[in-house]
Copies of this chain bind each other. A is one copy, B any other.
């Protein structure tokens, strides 16, 4: 499930944020679903609980999860309205990456094709709710 590269220059907590975020947006983790507790996940991944908590706190800051004292961390339900700043940043990065892709030789057709495929998957995922 979660795969940490301890030799990476990328901090562990950032790897966790990216991977969990990806699982949420791809529908692997559904809204309302409970995440592993800080201590359990720390033991599973053999990292310090503080590192897990740092990742969870960041995911909460950008609106992907929320926490309840004594109960646990949960995937947010309605993320659309929650964080416009995050959407703005994602949009900017999306534009930069699309420019880079074209610059590196990706064809316009392929770019549009990729987007349409993701749109299709996203609409399909909605029906699963």
Contacts and interface: CB of A to CB of B under 8 A. Distances in A.
A115 interface: yes
Interface residues of A, number: 38
B79 A98 contact: no
A108 B119 contact: yes
A68 interface: no
A94 interface: yes
B97 A97 contact: yes
A94 B24 CA distance: 16
B116 A91 contact: no
Nearest to A109: B119
Given A94-B94, A108-B119, A101 B87 contact: yes
Contacts of A44: none
Contacts of A119: 102, 108, 111-112
